[in-house]
Amino acid sequence: MGLMDTLKGWFGKAKDTAGDVAEKAGDAAEKAWDKTKDAAGEAKEFVEDKVDDMRGKADDAPEPPSGG
């Protein structure tokens, strides 16, 4: 029975360690997802501001001369 107890001990510890690693990986993935969402939101706002600036400049630009 000593060998079986040893094997059960090893596999039990491996199972616990795997669970801990999976939990930490899940936490890290969640943090990474939150950071990605924040960065995407900031990038969206930046692009929208630039597009608005460009539209304003286009509206203020003089009309090209008409050739005929």
pLDDT tens for each residue of the chain, 68 residues long: 688 888 888 888 888 888 889 999 999 999 999 999 999 999 999 999 999 999 988 888 788 888 65
- What pLDDT shows up at residue 13? 85
- What pLDDT shows up at residue 67? 66
pTM above 0.75, yes or no: no
State phi, psi for 37 to the nearest 5 degrees: -60, -40
Residue 20 is which amino acid?
Answer: D
- What pLDDT shows up at residue 29? 94
Provide the residue ranges of all domains of the chain, joining segments of one domain with +: 17-57
- What pLDDT shows up at residue 62? 83
Q: What are 4's two structure tokens?
A: 């079986």
